[in-house]
Every structure is written in C-alpha cells, then in structure tokens.
C-alpha cells in the first residue's frame, strides 16, 4: 500500500536559518505529492504540490522537487521566519479528488 | 479559495453519549468528503470517505456502527460518534476535494472531542 515517511521533529531553528524536511514515499504508479502546513490552532492548508516526476512545487519561499528515482519530496526554505513555525505534513494522492496518505508530520519551531 | 467549516470547533461530552460533528463546504459543492482523525502530535489517519447520496466507505479497522457518517447534501457531511468513550477523544478533521478536477483538497479547521 501507499505510505509516506517524513523526518520526526521537533525541528528548532533560528530565524533566517535554512530548513529542510525530508519526505520519502512508497506508492504504485505515479502519485501526486503535497506538502500541507498546519499553523497553531488552524486547519491544514496546502503549501505546495507536484504532480509528476521532476516537477518543482513552490510557494511562500518553500520548494520541493518530485524525485521519482529516490521516491522523495523534500521540503526546503532558504531563510525561515518566526511565522513559519507550524507542523508540516508530506502527503501523496493517487488521483484527482482521491484520498490522501499523510506522513507523520514535522513540527518546526523558529526562534527569533 | 474554497472554504470548509466544521462545527463545533470543540466539544466535551460524557461517556456513553453521542456527538455529531458537521462539515460544510461553504462556497462549493462536494460530492465526496473525507473524515480524518488526528491524535496528539501524530499524523492524520483517514477514517472514511463520505459520499453524497450513498453509503460512506470506511477504512480498515474503523467501526462503521460507532462512527456514523451521513452526506445528506452537496455541502454537508456529518460524523456522529456514538456511545463515545474516553478513547474516542481526538481531533477530527474533514476535507473536501476540488470539484474542478484538480487534486487539491480543502480542509476544515477540525473539531476537538473530549470524552469524560
């Protein structure tokens, strides 16, 4: 079956530091890959996505590239802000409108 | 963007009672909605797929008689936790996919259930 594995947190960083959150997946076929973010007290929001190999998703300074050869979709941001403190979830979906399989989530805390 | 709401945002109930959680798509229609459960500091676990006008599809290990799902209209799905027990205490989240045919899903803010 499908599965998503992401690095455990919490990850604590100073402002302007570089952030990487690793995500690898197992799936048959060619899933779409997503990063969702959950800010404190809020629901999940789509951060970025990629629908095929070598696609790069980007939003709000975050980037992730769909690597089929390594089955990975690592999230990166070059300079984090305190407002980036949140829980980040990597997920995969097999088709439009289909259910998502989530990774365990990574809590990120950015200190001033 | 599309908005999904949940009501209530939090609820406390006594053991043995039933609790109903509503999930609404506010500005779009959703023939399908998903219900997730999130344990503290853990990921989302898909419980079931709610289908408008037909029976819900439950994931393996989820008791359909305990977690009743009704998708009565194109904008409303309800999850009823029947005969709730303390181990049912959790954060319940719904989502609805974008009907435009993309693979985007919109998530509700979640409902925190505490069973005493």
| SS3 state of residue B86 | helix
Q: How confident is the model at residue B94 (pLDDT cuts 50, 70, 90)?
A: very high
Q: Which residues of A touch B103 (CB under 8 A)?
A: 32, 34, 49, 51, 93, 95-98
- Per-residue pLDDT, A97: 60
Q: What is the pLDDT of residues A24-63, one digit of tens each?
A: 999 988 899 999 999 987 888 899 999 999 999 999 999 9
Q: How confident is the model at residue B21 (pLDDT cuts 50, 70, 90)?
A: very high
CB B86 within 8 A of CB B16: no
Rounded to the nearest 5°, which phi and psi values hold at A9?
-105, -160
The residue ranges of DSSP E strands in chain B, in sequence order, are 4-7, 10-13, 19-25, 32-38, 44-51, 57-58, 67-73, 76-81, 90-97, 105-107, 111-115
Rounded to the nearest 5°, which phi and psi values hold at B88?
-85, -10
Min Cα separation B17/chain A (Å): 26
CB A21 within 8 A of CB A6: yes
How many angstroms separate the CA atoms of B106 and A85, rounded? 21
How many angstroms separate the CA atoms of B12 and A9, rounded? 29
Token couple for B3: 């908005």
Inspect the interface and report whether the beta carbons of B41 and A107 lie closer than 8 Å. yes
Per the rule left: phi > 0, alpha: psi between -120 and 50, beta: everything else, B41 is left
Q: Which residues of B touch A107 (CB under 8 A)?
A: 41
User: CA B29 → CA A42, B18, B54, B76, B106, distances in Å?
Assistant: 22, 27, 16, 9, 12
Q: Is the pLDDT of residue A96 over 60?
A: no
Token couple for A30: 């060619």
In a mutagenesis test of the A interface, which of B1, B25, B103, B112 is the best target, namely the one with the most A β-carbons within 10 Å?
B103
The answer for B 5-64 residues in CB contact with A (under 8 A) is 32, 34, 41-44, 46, 49
- Per-residue pLDDT, B77: 96
């Amino acid at each position: 079956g499908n599965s998503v594995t992401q690095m455990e947190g919490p990850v604590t960083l100073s402002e302007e530091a570089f952030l990487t959150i690793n995500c690898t997946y197992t799936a048959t076929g060619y899933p779409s890959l997503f990063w969702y973010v959950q800010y404190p007290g809020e629901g999940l929001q789509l951060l970025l996505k990629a629908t095929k190999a070598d696609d790069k998703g980007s939003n709000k300074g975050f980037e992730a590239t769909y690597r089929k050869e390594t089955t990975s979709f690592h999230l990166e941001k070059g300079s984090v802000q305190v407002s980036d403190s949140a829980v980040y979830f990597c997920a995969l979906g097999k088709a439009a409108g289909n259910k998502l399989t989530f990774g365990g989530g990574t809590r990120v805390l950015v200190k001033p | 963007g599309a908005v999904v709401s949940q009501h209530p945002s939090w609820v406390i109930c006594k053991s043995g009672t039933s609790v109903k959680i509503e999930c609404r798509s506010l500005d779009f229609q959703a023939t399908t909605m998903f219900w997730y459960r999130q344990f503290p500091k853990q990921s989302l676990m898909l419980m079931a797929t709610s289908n408008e006008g037909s029976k819900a599809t439950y994931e393996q290990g989820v008791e359909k008689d305990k977690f009743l799902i009704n998708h009565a209209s194109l904008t409303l799905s309800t999850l009823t936790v029947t005969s709730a027990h303390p181990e049912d205490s959790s954060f319940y989240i719904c989502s609805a996919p974008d009907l435009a045919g993309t693979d985007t899903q919109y998530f509700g803010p979640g409902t925190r259930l505490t069973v005493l």
